Chain A
């Protein structure tokens, strides 16, 4: 394709877009005075089309494909799902995903909450917050590479120096270096640490804002009643920020269910650390087993949906307060 045909394609695309938008504005203009709801639908129309093409159609198609074999030709019923729940390797994938989802949101939220309370009103609060918020600015892949170096292993031999921070600390303490990302099942927890490191900042930011929004009079009333610090947290802070805590928990939970970058970058799913999202990618794009890949994607979807629904409900609840 040479430059002139490219330019022509671009011109056509622009004209097409202008025509569509023009048509919409025209229709909206004509109906403007009659009914507001029709105008709403007219403007909603392109979004509906895009959501259908970009989300609805692929979702339906993926679900459909999950009942077919690797080549997507022969109907195999629930075989792919049976594979997921019976093959030892896939069961391990499910176990790891459960570990991730159970550990990450709670630990990340707990750390974020604790940190938010500790630095609240303290001197240098902004700096302290920036410190824990910084990992949020780092992409998952970059964070994984950083932590891979932290866990890096070199043998305990004369003349060989540790280059991993964690192993160097272990050696200083008199221990022998460990293969942190190889030794199962602890390696999964070492990967989870990366996710927590990233997400704690997010939890801290939201929860800190929620804490600051607690009305001053409630706190003062509690103080006058002689509540100690622990009681203040238990009976005033936590109930007041409950909706925010749940939103944070579920948001991190959704992100964790879909965790892919960390596992793929650090172990590639090897050493028994595989999770659903990574296995779905491997099956679909490396093993070209579209059936099993789709089934894993559908499973992931089914697992995420209840959390998303709960998350949205809580979000609405916290907004309506």
Chain B
């Protein structure tokens, strides 16, 4: 009897151990991600004058939580080094691919990080609504007034209060082309939408399909069309109408958005224009967005509208430069004087007002940090990072596309607008808009498309 009992206990114990391990594995998932600290406590020998105002923060730690992971995380950690070296504070950088859902969970559960790098204004609004976020200190607000436009400041604000300074930025209003083809055929980079149309017709007249596109992207299939539509909405109806459209002050199926989608259709659903090297209009739906612009290299396509990050999709060895294999031009406005830009970016939102957090927040909003980060990114990852910070010296950007993007962002005429679908409610921005755009490209007419998206808009 006793031996029976003891063997049973042993079995229960070993089973229990397994379950307990599984339990703890689950509970640690919350903090997840790669845990890395870039803390070196070597005495600062360099130029610490700029950091004097932050004081000595020895023994203090600031937790940064973000969705930016390997390999892009290292330049971030490296760019924090000067701050750590001079103030002796420790910055604890945690990158987590599940950031966008986890940050809401953490904020609601009362366990937020000190600073979160938030990639969407919509998410920022949700985080502020949890009540856990802290307003930015005056020093940050002053820096943002100095280095960014009012449009950027507005995206970091909620309910009239300013919360978060912008961090990185990206430009979406770009058209990729082959500089060689343009030189050989004598094409000029268009400066108005009409010129773009004329250029497309000219190329189409040679028997070549001028445009190529791809919108397949797993469950997010359709998103490149939403970018196209946002770009045309911003150009044809102006920034005010664009804002009203994004915030649903005008209906999705009203005249202006319908006209914008029709304008996109005059390119993407025009079988004389698409789909260079990839098939007919329908092939846009099945081509992955990564493959969408590659026919430019094969010479079967001339123009491809896609964001600055598309540069990394070209195969190794492709020279991306004004005198290279492929380059991009700014998608022009209706008039040459118009300069609307569609883009994206991140924001540094703080959940604590401890002095060291505010000091670090202030450092991140300076031109010093923007330039430090740009230099480090250019050296270690060949670029791919820019900021809309006007203090950013474009000479620090070695990558020609970064250089072009930063120049576009810093242009005083630029009217910047954030990617609209990122700011619409999830039911639209990450569901109905994508789905209906995909149905639209495979044959559904414009009216049904905008009507169905309008019908899906959450009623509240």
Minimum distance in angstroms from A15 CB to a CB of chain B: 9
- With A70-B427, A179-B283, A182-B282 already in contact, 10 other A-B pairs whose C-beta atoms are closer than 8 Å: A1-B30, A6-B28, A16-B20, A18-B12, A18-B13, A87-B455, A153-B283, A182-B442, A286-B426, A287-B431
Q: Which of B15, B279, B435, B458 is in CB contact (< 8 Å) with A70?
A: B458
Nearest B residue to A21, CB-CB: B12
Q: Is the CB of A270 within 8 A of B431?
A: no
CB neighbours of A17 from chain B (8 A) = 16, 19-20
Segment of B187-195, B216-224, B251-259, B346-354 engaged in the interface with chain A: B216-224
In this complex, which of A9, A71, A271, A283 has the most chain B Cβ atoms within 10 angstroms of its Cβ?
A: A271
User: Assuming the A-B contacts A270-B285, A288-B427, are A71 and B24 also in contact, with contact meaning beta carbons closer than 8 angstroms in the complex?
Assistant: no
Interface size on A, residues (CB 8 A): 39
Q: Is the CB of B12 within 8 A of A25?
A: yes
B439 CB-CB contact with A under 8 Å: yes
Q: Is the CB of B282 within 8 A of A287?
A: no
Cα-based distance from A155 to B285 in the complex (angstroms):
13
Q: Which of B17, B221, B456, B459 is in CB contact (< 8 Å) with A14?
A: B17
B366 CB-CB contact with A under 8 Å: no
CB neighbours of A160 from chain B (8 A) = 277, 300
Q: Which of B17, B21, B219, B439 is in CB contact (< 8 Å) with A264?
A: B219
CB neighbours of B17 from chain A (8 A) = 14
Q: Which of B8, B12, B20, B219 is in CB contact (< 8 Å) with A268?
A: B219
A13 CB-CB contact with B under 8 Å: yes
CB neighbours of A154 from chain B (8 A) = 278-279
Q: Is the CB of B285 within 8 A of A271?
A: yes
A62 CB-CB contact with B under 8 Å: no
CB neighbours of A268 from chain B (8 A) = 218-219, 221
- Report A282-300 residues with CB < 8 Å from chain B CB: 282-283, 286-289
Q: Is the CB of A286 within 8 A of B16?
A: no
Cα-based distance from A87 to B13 in the complex (angstroms):
55
Nearest A residue to B25, CB-CB: A10
Interface of A, helix, strand, loop or mixed by DSSP: loop
Residues of chain A at the chain B interface (Cβ within 8 Å): 1, 6, 9-10, 13-14, 16-18, 21-22, 25, 29, 69-71, 87, 89, 153-155, 157, 159-160, 179, 181-182, 264, 268-272, 282-283, 286-289
User: Assuming the A-B contacts A18-B13, A89-B452, A179-B282, are A10 and B20 also in contact, with contact meaning beta carbons closer than 8 angstroms in the complex?
Assistant: yes
Minimum distance in angstroms from B7 CB to a CB of chain A: 12
CB neighbours of A153 from chain B (8 A) = 279, 283, 286
Interface of B, helix, strand, loop or mixed by DSSP: helix
User: Assuming the A-B contacts A1-B28, A10-B20, are A286 and B431 also in contact, with contact meaning beta carbons closer than 8 angstroms in the complex?
Assistant: yes
Q: Range of interface residues on chain B? A: 35 or more
Minimum distance in angstroms from A163 CB to a CB of chain B: 11
CB neighbours of A264 from chain B (8 A) = 219
Chain A to chain B contacts (Cβ below 8 Å), 20 pairs: A1-B28, A1-B31, A9-B24, A14-B17, A16-B20, A29-B5, A70-B458, A87-B455, A89-B452, A155-B275, A155-B277, A160-B277, A179-B279, A179-B283, A179-B286, A182-B285, A182-B286, A269-B435, A270-B435, A287-B432
Cα-based distance from A71 to B425 in the complex (angstroms):
12
Cα-based distance from A269 to B5 in the complex (angstroms):
55
B280 CB-CB contact with A under 8 Å: yes
Cα-based distance from A69 to B438 in the complex (angstroms):
26
CB neighbours of A70 from chain B (8 A) = 427, 458
Nearest B residue to A28, CB-CB: B8
Cα-based distance from A201 to B216 in the complex (angstroms):
32
Q: Is the CB of B460 within 8 A of A71?
A: yes
CB neighbours of A29 from chain B (8 A) = 5
User: Assuming the A-B contacts A70-B458, A179-B283, A287-B426, are A270 and B23 also in contact, with contact meaning beta carbons closer than 8 angstroms in the complex?
Assistant: no
Q: Is the CB of A270 within 8 A of B283?
A: no
CB neighbours of A89 from chain B (8 A) = 452
CB neighbours of A16 from chain B (8 A) = 20
B120 CB-CB contact with A under 8 Å: no
B9 CB-CB contact with A under 8 Å: yes
Q: Is the CB of B427 within 8 A of A6?
A: no
B430 CB-CB contact with A under 8 Å: yes
Q: Is the CB of A289 within 8 A of B279?
A: no
Q: Is the CB of B277 within 8 A of A287?
A: no
CB neighbours of A25 from chain B (8 A) = 5, 8-9, 12
B183 CB-CB contact with A under 8 Å: no
Minimum distance in angstroms from A257 CB to a CB of chain B: 21
